[in-house]
Amino acid sequence: MRLAFVIAARQRRSFVAPLAATALLLGACATQGSTANRREADAVRSARAAQNRAIAALDTAAVARFWTEDVEIRRGLGALVLGREEYKRLFNPDSGAVARGEELIYQREPASVVVSEQWPLAYEEGTWIGHRGRADGPALIGGRYAAQWVKRGEHWLIRGEVYVALTCSGAGCTSTAVP
Kindly list the domain boundaries of the chain, sorted by start residue.
35-173
| Residue 161: strand, helix, or coil | strand
Residues 141 and 134 sit within 8 Å (Cβ to Cβ): no
CA gap 18, 81 in Å, rounded? 53
Residues 149, 156 contacting (CB under 8 angstroms): yes
Interval 88-137: pLDDT, tens: 999 888 888 888 888 899 999 999 999 999 999 999 999 999 999 999 99
Q: Which fold has domain 35-173?
A: Nuclear Transport Factor 2; Chain: A, (3.10.450)
Q: How far apart are CA 108 and CA 76, in angstroms?
A: 12
pTM: 0.78
Phi and psi, residue 153, nearest 5°: 65, -125
